[in-house]
Structures are given as C-alpha cells and as structure tokens.
Structure 1
Amino acid sequence: MKKVTLVDIFTHPIAQKYLKRSGMAHAIETAYYAYDLALKERVCPDLATKAALLHDIGHYEWFTNGKWDYEKYRKNDIHAIKGAERAHKLLIRLGEDPEKAKQIALAILLHTDSYLPEGNLNQNPLQRVVKMADEMDEEPEGQHHYKQIDQDVALQKIKQLDHKVQPFRKLLKKSV
C-alpha cells in the first residue's frame, strides 16, 4: 500500500479547493500543533497531522449581503460532517490505508461540537489531539479562517512537516 504524504494531500486539486475556502494558513498551523500534541500524547503524528490539515475542508461559506455571517455559520454549520466525508473520499482516492482513512475522517468529524446537541463526547486520543490543535489556532468570530499565506510558503511548510512525520510512517502501522 502506498504511503500517502502530507504533500500528496496538500497538492491534490480537491484539497487545494477546500483548503483555500476554509483557510490554508489555519489548516497548516493546526497541522503543526497536531504534530507537537501527537508526540506529547503518544498519538500517531501521521494520522494527527493529516486529520488536522483537512479538519475544515467541509466548510460552507455563510454570507449575508456579501459579508461573512458568523452567527449564521454558528447556527447552521455542519462542516465537520461534510469535511469527514470529503477527507475520507480524498484519502481513499490517494491510496491511504482504509483503516487509517477512517480514523482520520472520524477525527475530523469530532473536532468540533458545533453541530451536536449539548453534551460531552467520549473522544479517543487522536480525536482529542485534532480538537485541541484546532482550538490552539482559533481566533474570535472565525477570523482564523482568513489568515493569509503565500502558496509557495504553504507548500514549503507542508514539506517541512512531512519530513518530520516521515519516520513515523515507517514505525507505526496502526495507532490512535
């Protein structure tokens, strides 16, 4: 089975479309936070960084009169559901191990509770790492989705993170 890299994911046209929509700089920063948290929490960095990079690819653009409507987003958003589906499909298309693709998709599904009824989730360590990484880069009223990054700089950062994660792809076959 092919070892799918962060670069493979990042450079795919589907990922590019949705990363640009949801905030490429936020996705990359979240992936870096996930790497550090994964090491600390003994979670597979490969799974954590992939889930963190793709965690917001399900975003829909909520606008009112041409302006971002944060309240409409908070009230109506189900981006984690759509993002989990998109990520799973993309990862399978790229040749990711199906079990790993499912673990990544579930971490994306559970990275936020914005669409769930009130209550606590019983998350596994991978899911907690992705949620914490996302929260570490959040800004008020969703402004973290609008941070800018040059495409070449973004690719360079992904390559650097991929290099850090690469040894863990060899060592760990299955870990959450």
Structure 2
Amino acid sequence: MRNVTLMDVFTHPIAQKYLQRSGVAHAVACAFHAYRLAVKAGVSPDLAAKAALLHDIGHYEWYTDGKWDYEKYRRNDIHAIKGAERAHKLLIRLGEEPKAAKEIALAILLHTDSYLPEGELDKNTLQQIVKQADELDEEPGGHHHYRQMDHTAALKQIQKLDQLIDQAQYPIRSSV
C-alpha cells in the first residue's frame, strides 16, 4: 500500500495554499493526464499523479498594476525550482518514501524548460510524462491557471484518482 495518497497531499494546508494560487482545476486535470500516460508507459501512476498535481506549486504571482502579467512571468519565473523544493518538503513531511519524494521533486523541477539554458536534457519517462500532462492542459496566455473548480468536486476527483491508482498498482487477481 501507499504511504501517502493523493488525498493526503491535496488536503494538506500547504498544498491547498499553493494549489489555490496556481489553479486547482489545472492541477487535477494534469494529475489525471499523468495517471493515464503513466499507465500506458508502465511508470508508477502514483508518482506521476502526485508530481502532476504538485507541478505548479512554486508559482509566484507576477502582477503589474494589480493585473496578472503573463509576459513578466514568462521572462522571469523559476516556479519549477521552488515547486520541486516545496513538493519534496511536503511529501517528506507527510511520510512519503524519500526515494519517491525525490523522483516526484525531480519531475516537477524538469516539467518546464522556461528557466533552463538552451540545450537538451535527457529526461526519464516520469519527467517526460509530467511535462506532457502539463502541456495537454495548457491554454494560451496561462489561462489554464484560472479555470475554476469547486472544492467538493476537486475532492471527488482526487478520491476517484486515488481509487484508480490503487487499482492500477494493486490489481485484484483471481485465484482461479
């Protein structure tokens, strides 16, 4: 069994604070995309969903004159660095296996290349999945961060995803 569920992560006050900032609907959608991609690729759907859920928790609010400044964000943001650190600390605090927390944090760190110097990195499959899950839910101008999702609906979706992950990782096998 898993030490830490998505529900444990999602309902933690630290996760709630930063998910509200970066967009709950986007985070939940990315977690579902990552789950599906991970199952298809034979990668842990638990690690993929957690990394995708938390991938944007490092967002800083870039405003000019009280209005979201997407271009300022694109030029200056390093949210993946801060998000990887926040996620790692949160997961360890919740009791996640340290190796798993590190894998998740690295996938968050590498989900975008907006802050990296030019060139290619050799990303593992989990890291590629989190990047792809994020891209599948993107909207022009960063509008995916502003879609709304009711808290109760989000909880139901996270609960459903936890059940899917448990079924994928621990399928019931017939003894016949």
Name the TM-score, length of structure 1 as normaliser.
0.94
Q: CA deviation at 1:166?
A: 1.5
Counterpart position of 2:165:
165
Amino acid in structure 2 at the alignment position of 1:57: I
What number of residue pairs does the alignment pair up? 171
Q: CA deviation at 1:69?
A: 0.3
The alignment partner of 1:126 has SS state of helix
The alignment partner of 1:114 has SS state of coil
Amino acid in structure 1 at the alignment position of 2:111: H
* Distance in 2 (alpha carbons) for counterparts of 1:125 and 1:157: 25
Counterpart position of 2:174:
none
The reply on whether 1:117 has 2:137 as its aligned counterpart is: no
The alignment partner of 1:153 has SS state of helix
Q: Per-residue CA shift, 1:105-143, capped at 9, x if unaligned?
A: 000000000000111121000000000000000000110
Q: Is the 8 A contact 2:39 2:168 kept in 1?
A: no
What CA RMSD, in Å, does the superposition of the two structures yield over aligned residues?
1.3
Q: Is the 8 A contact 2:55 2:111 kept in 1?
A: yes
1:124-143 superposed matches below 5 A: 124-143=124-143
Q: CA deviation at 1:167?
A: 3.5
Q: Is the 8 A contact 1:45 1:168 kept in 2?
A: yes
Amino acid in structure 2 at the alignment position of 1:107: A
Structure 1 stretches lacking a partner, 5+ long = 172-176
Counterpart position of 2:87:
87
Q: Is the 8 A contact 1:3 1:169 kept in 2?
A: no
Q: CA deviation at 1:88?
A: 0.1
Amino acid in structure 2 at the alignment position of 1:161: L
State the identity as a percent.
70
Q: Per-residue CA shift, 1:79-104, capped at 9, x if unaligned?
A: 00000000000000000000000000
**Higher gyration radius (CA):** 2
* Distance in 2 (alpha carbons) for counterparts of 1:75 and 1:170: 43
Name the TM-score, length of structure 2 as normaliser.
0.94
* Distance in 2 (alpha carbons) for counterparts of 1:40 and 1:112: 22
Amino acid in structure 1 at the alignment position of 2:22: S
